[in-house]
Chains A and B, each alone.
Chain A
Amino acid sequence: MNRYFDFRQFWVLTQMHFKELIREPAVLFWGIVFPVLMSLGLGIAFSKTADSQRNIAVVDVIPNHDKQDSIAAFPAIFNHFYSKSIPEKQTKFAFSIKNKKLGNIVFNFNLLSWNEAIIKLKRGEINVIISKEDNIYKYYFDPANPDAQNSYMKLSELLNLKNIAELKSDENVSILNLPGTRYVDFLIPGLTAMGIMMSIMWGLSYGIIEKRSNKLLRRMIATPMKKHYFILSLFFVRIVMNLVESLILILFAMLAFHITIQGSILALIAVFFAGNIAFGGLAIFVSCRTSKTEIGNGLINLVVMPMMMMSGIFFSYHNFPDIVVSILKYLPLTILADSMRSIFIEGAGLMEVSTTIIVLSITGFVFFIAGLKSFKWY
């Protein structure tokens, strides 16, 4: 037995944590299969130029006006793009603007009364209502809804045309298809960063709280076990699992979406470990006292949910107001995701991400020490 490091104790604890982990099929699903499925779903959704559906309600604002009369009052709306006259009983029309370069836009018009239109708007089934009042088209929509804004802009452009041939040409539009500029290039490094956070936070924190709740920690410290081996071995197993999970996700993205790592692999490895250290420290801190799994759930969610929503994993956090961005960019997940993106798509090397590595590592150590200081074994 080594005087300074009892390898056997560390090894039996590592085996224990590892077996516990791999024998739980749900762990493998959430850790490996789910991130791959998410990247597949989002990658396809944002890489294929699918038809853009615009759902519009056409109404008559005069109360109690007969619906068929309303329809009759609006044929001009459709004359631009709908060759046939509106059949009397028909209340739905679709019109499609074909565009190979930008993708098709399909307008779905629903002839409705005002009240019906409002109900559909509340349900999210339509997002713009138009009516013709005093020979002028009027648009009703929520300007805070970007989809409604977009529908309004496209529709108002169309309705102001004298004929369809006047539709704005897309000759001056060039599709940007350089490596690293697609949505999926933005997504994969973010998903990898989020996977590290989720795996460490749930795996470490929940594992510790559950064992404390089951009095297993209490039983184990009644042996000659060195206490820090327990935490180190749990941490070690999680890092190994994270490595496997991240590798599978990245390899999948390389094969399915032709993702490339433009920067330094060494930098990526260093950032990966720094991220694990940061969230490992946070996980120990979060789980240092409670023995109630319900409280543990709440605490872990309190840490991971805001970061998951606002650290720019799925969409850029720069869409938030500047004051919020100035806070968000210092969250550990934002730092990790940004530095991973800089390596994946901007070609960053070790020097460019060295500050990130130091900041994440120090964050981890500070929380780790604070967590250990107030750690309850029972």
Chain B
Amino acid sequence: MPAEPVVFIVDDERDVRDAVSMLIRSIGLPVQAFASAQEFLGHYRPDQPGCLVLDVRMPGISGIDLQEAMAAKGIRLPIVFISGHGDIPMAVRAVRAGAVDFLEKPFSDQTLLDRVQKSIELDRRWRREARDRDVVRSRMAQLTPRELEVMECLVAGKVNKIIARELDLSTRTVEIHRARVLQKMEADNVSQLVRLVLSIREDTVRQS
């Protein structure tokens, strides 16, 4: 069930929190605001799409700490940082760790709303890709060990004859395996198969 995206706001400063909430609600997006990182962590469910507008400096867990904690827990939610301090090293650190942007208070409404919408778009894409990867993984799980071996060879760009020699099979058997692999992976041809397999491989590389 694809839930509606929600914009989460975490800022200990009540006035700023309320103002940002109001601004975002004014373009019709649902908002949930929290006064601290702890409160947010206690409330957030990872299957909730949306994005996070996060204050950098807060007593207790800071915004940067929260970003790290989410990464450690494998929670992937686009973050737009807002900060009262023009703290460049901190901004660099935040953006390197994957933040969408780092806005200095006071910010222009258009900039913030742009970043929020961009973040929601990004989140949507991330979630779609994640879903696609799950599909590919589940299809792959249906393959027999022998079919997996054949698939690896196909992805590596080897022709049937070579595969037959390497796996010590007849060309005819390889052809049957190949047809099964394409069928199970729901790929029309080998190039489509390669793309599907690489999509989960790339992701593994990116996430590690």
A and B co-occur in one complex: no
B binding-site residues for A, Cβ under 8 Å? none
